């Protein structure tokens, strides 16, 4: 395996199902040894921000619904499963699940991508409150909020893979 293939295999999923970000960061020479979480994050975010709007929309759309169908079917990535479980989204009451489903459907219809929030450190009440607040955003404001959340999720994922600093 080449160094590039190794890097993409290790970090290609940091931005949900979007290995092109890791590929482009590697190809652009934006990485410095030793790899550190903040440095890799800066490189990946730089590529994400330079991506076309359609590519960034694709990254947003690659994220699963919170407590949605993929979670029920057990088809989340390991990272998403752990993040959602840490926020208690794997232990919803039927009423809470119905509320999440309704909000997910309404949000996706309005914005064209799933609701995205970095759930680490939040509980289901925090997430529902953010959901109910953000659903009233304009499409452009929500696109910006969702992309910022994707970048935060990437930072949190990298912090588990690499040393800080």
Which residues are designated catalytic? Answer: 63
Sign, CA torsion 118/59/11/24: negative
Residue 64 DSSP label: P
d(CA 157, CA 133): 25
Contact in structure between 120 and 83 (CB atoms under 8 Å):
yes
User: What does the block give as tokens for 117?
Assistant: 């929030």
d(CA 81, CA 148): 20
* Long-range own/partner contacts, residues 106-109 (CB < 8 A, 24 or more apart): 106/135, 107/131, 107/134, 107/135, 108/65
Strand, helix or coil at 88?
coil
What are the backbone angles phi and psi of residue 143, rounded to the nearest 5°? -60, -45
């Amino acid at each position: 395996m080449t160094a590039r293939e190794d890097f993409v295999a290790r970090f290609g999923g940091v931005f949900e199902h979007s290995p092109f970000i890791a590929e482009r960061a590697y190809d652009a020479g934006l990485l410095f040894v030793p790899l550190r979480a903040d440095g890799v994050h800066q490189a990946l975010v730089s590529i994400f921000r330079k991506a076309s709007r359609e590519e960034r929309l694709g990254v947003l759309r690659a994220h699963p619904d919170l407590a949605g169908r993929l979670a029920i079917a057990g088809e989340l990535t390991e990272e998403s499963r752990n993040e959602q479980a840490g926020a208690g989204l794997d232990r919803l009451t039927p009423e809470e699940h119905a509320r999440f489903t309704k909000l997910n459907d309404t949000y996706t219809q309005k914005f064209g991508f799933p609701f995205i929030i970095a759930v680490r450190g939040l509980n289901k009440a925090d997430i529902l409150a953010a959901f109910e607040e953000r659903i009233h955003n304009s499409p452009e404001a929500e696109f910006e909020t969702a992309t910022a959340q994707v970048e935060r999720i990437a930072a949190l994922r990298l912090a588990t893979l690499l040393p800080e600093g």
